Homo-oligomer: A and B are copies of this chain.
Amino acid sequence: AVASPAIAQSSPEIKWRLTSSFPKSLDTIYGGAEYLAKQVAEMTDNKFQIQVFQAGEIVPGLQALDATAKNTVEMSHTVSYYYVGKDPTFAIFSAVPFGLNARMQNSWLYQGGGNELATEFFKKHGVIGFPCGNTGTQMGGWFRKEIKTVADLSGLKFRIGGIAGQVLQKVGVVPQQIAGGDIYPALEKGTIDAAEWVGPYDDEKLGFQKVAKYYYYPGFWEGGPTVHAFCNLEKWNELPKSYQTVLANAAQCTNSWMSARYDMQNPAALKRLVAGGTQLRPFTNEVLEACLKATNELWAEISAKNADFKKVIDAMQAYRSDQYLWWQVAEYTYDSFQIRSRTRG
Contacts and interface: CB of A to CB of B under 8 A. Distances in A.
A249 B43 contact: yes
A1 B6 contact: yes
A339 B330 contact: no
A322 B268 contact: yes
A338 B101 contact: yes
Given A7-B7, A246-B43, A259-B106, A321 B334 contact: no
Given A320-B338, A338-B320, A264 B112 contact: yes
B332 A335 contact: yes
Interface in A100-114: 101-104, 106-107, 109-112
Contact of A256 (B220, B256, B344): B256
A223 B334 contact: yes
B6 A331 contact: no
Interface string A169-188: 00000000000000000000
Given A106-B260, A245-B39, A345-B317, A101 B334 contact: yes
Interface string A234-256: 00000011100110011011011
A203 B42 CA distance: 40
Given A45-B242, A327-B339, A345 B98 contact: yes
A110 B256 contact: yes
Interface string A282-319: 10010011001000100000000000000000000100
Interface in A1-60: 1-7, 10-11, 39, 42-45
B330 A139 contact: yes
A63 interface: no
Contacts of A112: 260, 264
Contact of A267 (B4, B103, B250, B326): B326
Nearest to A139: B330
A89 interface: no
B45 A111 contact: no
Given A7-B3, A39-B245, A323 B267 contact: yes
Contacts of A249: 39, 43, 249-250, 253
A275 interface: no
A139 B106 CA distance: 21
Contact of A107 (B3, B252, B259, B282): B259
Contacts of A252: 252-253, 256
Given A2-B7, A110-B257, 5 more contacts: A39-B249, A45-B240, A107-B264, A217-B329, A325-B342
Interface of A: 1-7, 10-11, 39, 42-45, 98, 101-104, 106-107, 109-112, 136-139, 199-200, 217-220, 223, 240-242, 245-246, 249-250, 252-253, 255-257, 259-261, 263-264, 266-268, 270-271, 280, 282, 285, 288-289, 292, 296, 317, 320-339, 341-345
